[in-house]
Structure 1
Amino acid sequence: MTQRQERLFVLEASGGGRLFRVNADGSGKTFLVTGCRVPDGVAVDVAAGHIYWTNMGVPAENDGSIERVDLDGGNRTTIVPSGVTHTPKQLHFEAVGRKLYWGDREGMRVMRCELDGSNVETLVQTGQGADDREDERRWCVGVAVDPAGGHLYWSQKGPSDGGEGKILRAGIDLPDGQSAAERSDIEVLFEGLPEPIDLELDHAQRLLYWTDRGDPPRGNTVNRAPMHPPNAVRSPEILLTHLMEGIGITLDPDGGRMYVTDLGGSVYTAGLDGSDRKEILVAQGNLTGIAHAVLVTGKGV
């Protein structure tokens, strides 16, 4: 008899850089990978049996990378080598097109590749060179993809606690004859945000969720808004508050839950409306990315 089991895959940027797995209630913590170079974004492809994550590396050295392991932590492989991406942050696995997307912070771009790391593309370029890199408003961090709607979403965080963050979207593919630096289809959905970080989409309800690390009361929160907000409605709904530098977020729409990490070392769960908030892990180091997956008994659980 097949048994479905929920798992959370979490990245810890401290402790030498680690990837661990826990049950959805926070029990059963198991380290799968150590020695990651400041890991930040994680994604799981259950069908292929792989976990992917980004390594920020040392931002000044332009040495970020993306790695992959099996669900049990075996067969560790670098798929996007050091230097192909500058400072990769949130990672998104798009299951329909079967590609990986990520925000490249100091690279000032949104990128994607095939699942084996080939065909690396730049889809959005917000700046070029050292002078532009000093402008944190150009830094791309969070990323999400809506294949049904044909849109790519990303966040540009702005200065720490600066109130200049944005969430934007554009078509998944570059318009014909246009470049990543000069594409005409970019739309600003939200601006003046404290410091938006990671994004997630509830495709069924057509809702956009994100974490924000800026100043309270609007910062250090989880927020949501319609994926296609009416022009007159630009105020997001705040669902969770008092995070300790909120960063990672993952949704379980079927179970009606969200899971969130912060750099203070906690993993939180709550209903998709922010109700029934619980801390399922505390004091776990500097936690970054998180991914929820439903695994089948006998396949790396």
Structure 2
Amino acid sequence: MNTDGSDRETIVTGCHLPDGIVVDTESGHIYWTNMGVPNLNDGSVERADLNGKNRTVIVPVGNTHTPKQIILDKKAGKLYWCDREGMRVLRCNLDGSRLETLVEAGRGDEDRRDQANWCVGLAIDGKHGKIYWTQKGPDNAGRGAIFRANVEIPAGQTPANRSDVEVFFGGLPEPIDLELDHKNRVLYWTDRGDPPRGNTVNRASIDNKPAEPEIVVTHLMEGIGIALDVPGDRMFVTDFAGSIYSAHLDGSGERNFLYAQGNLTGIAYAEV
């Protein structure tokens, strides 16, 4: 649809609880994750043309548990996503080959019961070779966190024991999706926890990290997806109550331009 909500078109139907989405305008593809049913380990990743045709599964059921936000590193030819109940950060080639685990926050049913191990949103800082991801934490427990590490696992280490993982921000309500303003080096994220710190969009410099993140949008109803149009000074945000919001990057001019759309999750901005 257009950025004012007009000219809406359904391009793919029958997805298995879709969540994250990313657009490759150069190749004319969209990629999205299907969460599946969390306790069945039946998530997948699909690709289609921009008009929804030539739909194909590139990461089949059984290879990713509950995939969430997905991002594209076009230069490297890689897709990255977080696997919530799988408690992992994963990547693969654009055709689904060479599936790799980069981060493993937990393993097995006991670890899975602790939502602090659930990986949800992610972003890549290509300039410094860093990856950022969220671990949601239990509902409103103040145990959510944003982590960062090098994109590549240090030599001789594993996804589970890598020594370069650091906490970027801890003690958050429930951080979900991330977006990085590469030009201004600012990280944005949604938080679906309760007010005052939750139901918000937050931001923070990644090079000069402040003591506390800045809250730029409030009063969401369980914020989930976020997309940035940095040249246009705009963000687009979805929430689980079914609204799509637009605002300037500083949060001003907030506008709810679609509502009651069902349980909305991922959102992508693309110039096509």
TM norm. shorter chain > 0.5: yes
- Whether 1:183 and 2:158 are equivalent positions in the alignment is no
Match of 2:101 in 1: 122
Structure 2 CA distance for aligned equivalents of residues 100 and 250 of structure 1: 17
Counterpart residue number, 1:270: 247
Structure 1 residue 280: Cα displacement: 1.6
1:183 maps to amino acid: R
**Residue matched to 2:23:** 44
- Residue 210 of structure 1: CA displacement? 0.1
Q: Does 1:242 align with 2:242?
A: no
Percent sequence identity is: 62
Tell me if structure 2 keeps the 8 A contact 1:140–1:156: yes
CA distance in 2, matches of 1:291, 1:90: 10
| Matches of 1:138 and 1:215, distance apart in 2 | 20
> What's the counterpart of residue 220 of structure 1?
199
Residue pairs, 1:1-301, within 5 angstroms = 22-230=1-209, 233-295=210-272
> For 2:158 and 2:202, how far apart are their aligned partners in 1?
31
Aligned match of 1:3:
none
Mapped partners of 1:245, 1:213: distance in 2: 4
More strand by share: 1
TM, length-normalised to structure 2: 0.99
* Cα distance in structure 2, aligned partners of 1:89 and 1:75: 22
Q: Secondary structure at the match of 1:293?
A: coil
Using the size of structure 1 for normalisation, the TM-score is: 0.89
Shift of 1:249: 0.2
- The structure with higher relative contact order (CA 8 Å, sep 6+) is 1
State the alpha-carbon separation in 2 of the partners of residues 74 and 169 from structure 1.
36
Tell me the amino acid that sits aligned with residue 81 of structure 2: W
User: Could you tell me how far apart the structure 1 residues matched to 2:73 and 2:199 are?
Assistant: 27
Superposed CA deviations along residues 189-230 of structure 1, whole A, max 9, x for unmatched, are 100000000000000000000000001000000000011344
What is the distance in 2 between the residues matched to 1:279 and 1:126? Answer: 36
1:289 counterpart letter in structure 2? G
Structure 2: runs of 5+ lacking an equivalent? none
* 1:68 counterpart SS class: strand
What's the C-alpha RMSD, in Å, of the aligned pairs?
A: 0.7
SS state of the match for residue 109, structure 2? helix
Runs of 5+ in structure 1 lacking a partner? 1-21, 296-301
